[in-house]
Amino acid sequence: MVSKSKQDQQRQAALKALLTSAYDSYGKGLFTRAFFKVHSESTGQDLVSDTFLKTWKYLVKGGKIESMKAFLYHILNNLIVDEYRKQKTVSLDELSEKGFELTDEKSDRMLNIFDGKAMVVLIQRLPENYRKVMRMRFIQELSLEEMSLLTGQSKNSLAVKIHRGLKKLKALHEHRS
């Protein structure tokens, strides 16, 4: 009869061989994915190391893996998301309090394409949720802060709607031409 510690040693050796094989097969691809997502070689290497460490811990606890490649990429993707969340974000509200006003050079250039009447006609063809913010921003020339006070929406959501509305306006203009 094989002792429990001997079984544990054999199991650990089998897991080590499994992970070594997985690293040889998928390590380069995992690193490439991580690098292109986080744009940092050292962070990419750390994420791949953490991927294999989490996989090791999962296997040691008795977890079963049907597809090693899919499992590793799933773990890596979750770690990439965690890495994005770690990065400090600054809200538009904080920026505007410091005097930052959101401007979009593309939107300014695009507005130069339209004359006043064409702009009004095209805005009327937008879906209602975009039509309202586009009128407020470009016809009434309200700031994001003023729009936020009038609508009760955050400046961030209004900025997103304006950006999407401009895309739709551009598409309508190109379709019309």
List, for residues 49-100, the tens digit of each pLDDT value: 999 999 999 999 999 999 999 999 999 999 998 888 887 665 666 666 666 5
- Sign, CA torsion 109/113/117/118: negative
Q: Can you give the three-state secondary structure of 46-59, one letter per residue?
A: HHHHHHHHHHHHHH
Same domain, 96 and 163: yes
* Whether pTM exceeds 0.85: no
Reduced to 3 states (helix: H, G, I; strand: E, B; else coil), residue 61 is coil
Instruction: Tell me: do 124 and 170 sit in the same domain.
Output: yes
**Into how many domains does the chain fold?**
2
What gap in Å lies between CA 159 and CA 21, rounded to an integer?
48
CATH number of residue 125's parent domain: 1.10.10.10
Regarding whether 115 and 67 lie in a shared domain, the answer is no
pLDDT tier for residue 27 given thresholds of 50, 70 and 90: very high
Domain-terminating residue out of 86, 116, 142: 86
* Whole-number CA gyration radius for the chain: 26
Question: Looking at the structure, do residues 44 and 71 belong to the same domain, yes or no?
Answer: yes
Regarding whether 162 and 100 lie in a shared domain, the answer is yes
| CA 13 – CA 3 distance, rounded (Å) | 15
